[in-house]
Structure 1
Amino acid sequence: MKVARVYLRVSTEGQDLSRQESIVQEAEEAGFYIAAVYREKASGMILNRPELQRMINDLQNDEVVIAENIDRISRLPHGEAIDLINKIKEKGAKISIPGIIDLSTISNATDGISKIVLDSIQEMLLKITLQIAHDEYNLRRDRIKKGISKAKELGKFKGRKPNTKKNKQIVELRKLGSSISKTAQLTNSSISQVKLIWAKYKKEISNDR
């Protein structure tokens, strides 16, 4: 029986991971034992994602990493993305991505020349899709920037509404002596967000004096 580890990721707290959960059942139906499922809400442009790094550390030889799409694993620039994939491969693990390297291909892998050819083709496809994932990220980001710029010109851009409840929780925890990293963990926020909210609070306090 093949052993697999499933990596699920979305970029923001407001997004839901449930749509990706189906790949766990699909892997089990394909005859894989799921050693662990790693769920993360973080940008694919960040290399040091806690759950991603934990998964890589947990990997054992001949295991399979399963993700819904290659961009769930990485939207990093091509060189960094390849380094990340190599870390997975150095642990003796394979990667399963629908349309590139699927579970049936791994389960039915053959030996000899045919396997070498298949591995080479999959390696090429993997590199191409990593580059596409990064390019799509940059394209979408540029479109968003242009959209915001246009909305500002028309006086229609108001920005995101602040999450006052979460901001208050951040401030209260910091006032109680909670560290920035611990506060971020307890409020399900990013470290940069905690720093920003705390800095704004201190500035407001200073201005009131």
Structure 2
Amino acid sequence: MFIRAYLRASTKDQNADRAKGMLRQFIEERDHKIASYYIENASGTQLNRIELTRLLNDSQANDILLIEQIDRLTRLNDDDWTQLKKQISNLNLKIVSLDIPTSWQALDKNITNNDPIAKAILNAVNNMFIDLMAAMSRKDWITRKERQRQGIERGIKNGKYKGKQPDLERHQQVISLKKRGLTLKEICQTTGYCYSNVCKILAHYKKDLFVIKK
């Protein structure tokens, strides 16, 4: 059994590994170790995420997918969440999430290996809670987006909304990191931008302001 920790932050949260110490402590208190960390800045509404895909490709049967909260794994719509669950199920991965205490029992080999009835009950309860938390995560995202939309509409109506302004300081950081030879993945992890935003920034500044050597 390998424990694979997945840490995700949205593009607005620049510190995707803030929960790393918490996950490590949680696992060590249960006499286990985390085999690998998969850290990325990406939206939970996207099914195709680089590090999540790498985790799934690396995983083997009975490995643990460790997360801080279910919303770190998914804010997906129903179809995409069903697809991700199918991938996880086909790999026979076990989700352990710090916000779902019943999932912690997957770390107890005595329960999962020696008692098939307990194992079946545990799986059923966990699936129910995980689906519930996934639905709540999606609803929370939709609610926040709706409030944001309403705020923008009020701002436009009052003549106060000027649109999202670019963070020029972070743009310069992207350019600086690129000039230093960092990869796109490393730039994403350092700046908090997603892959597509880094590419857009590099393309814009390369064309208008900078000459970046490949």
Q: TM-score, normalised by structure 2?
A: 0.77
Cα separation, 2, equivalents of 1:11 and 1:28: 27
Q: Which residue of 1 aligns with 2:2?
A: 3
CA deviation after TM superposition for structure 1 residue 166, in Å: 5.0
Counterpart pick for 2:116 among 102, 112, 134: 112
Q: Which residue of 2 aligns with 1:127?
A: 131
Would the alpha carbon gap of residues 24 and 163 (structure 1) be closer, same or farther in structure 2, given more than 3 Å must change? same
Cα separation, 1, equivalents of 2:2 and 2:202: 43
Structure 1 gaps of 5+ residues are 177-181, 205-209
Would the alpha carbon gap of residues 5 and 169 (structure 1) be closer, same or farther in structure 2, given more than 3 Å must change? closer
Q: Which residue of 1 aligns with 2:11?
A: 12
Cα separation, 2, equivalents of 1:197 and 1:154: 35
Q: Which residue of 2 aligns with 1:92?
A: 92
Q: Which residue of 1 aligns with 2:212?
A: none
Q: Which residue of 1 aligns with 2:49?
A: 49
| 2:128 corresponds to 1:163 | no
Structure 2 gaps of 5+ residues are 210-214
Counterpart pick for 1:139 among 136, 139, 143: 143
Amino acid in structure 2 at the alignment position of 1:135: K
| 2:76 corresponds to 1:72 | no
Q: Deviations over 1:34-75 (max 9, x none)?
A: 110111100001111100000001111111111011111111
Query: 3-state SS of the aligned residue for 2:33?
Result: strand
Would the alpha carbon gap of residues 148 and 111 (structure 1) be closer, same or farther in structure 2, given more than 3 Å must change? same
Cα separation, 2, equivalents of 1:55 and 1:165: 32
Would the alpha carbon gap of residues 115 and 185 (structure 1) be closer, same or farther in structure 2, given more than 3 Å must change? closer
CA deviation after TM superposition for structure 1 residue 145, in Å: 0.9
Query: 3-state SS of the aligned residue for 1:145?
Result: helix
Query: 3-state SS of the aligned residue for 1:27?
Result: helix
Would the alpha carbon gap of residues 195 and 65 (structure 1) be closer, same or farther in structure 2, given more than 3 Å must change? same
Cα separation, 1, equivalents of 2:176 and 2:26: 44
Tell me if structure 2 keeps the 8 A contact 1:7–1:66. Answer: yes
Amino acid in structure 1 at the alignment position of 2:52: L
What is the number of equivalent residue pairs in this alignment?
198
Would the alpha carbon gap of residues 201 and 159 (structure 1) be closer, same or farther in structure 2, given more than 3 Å must change? farther
CA deviation after TM superposition for structure 1 residue 120, in Å: 1.3
Amino acid in structure 1 at the alignment position of 2:103: D
Tell me if structure 2 keeps the 8 A contact 1:101–1:122. Answer: yes
Cα separation, 1, equivalents of 2:105 and 2:177: 49
Farther-moved stretch of structure 1 (137-146 vs 83-92): 83-92
Tell me if structure 2 keeps the 8 A contact 1:9–1:42. Answer: yes
Q: TM-score, normalised by structure 1?
A: 0.78
* Higher RCO (CA 8 Å, separation ≥ 6 residues): 2
Q: Deviations over 1:52-104 (max 9, x none)?
A: 00000111111111101111111111221122122122112100113254323
Would the alpha carbon gap of residues 169 and 25 (structure 1) be closer, same or farther in structure 2, given more than 3 Å must change? closer
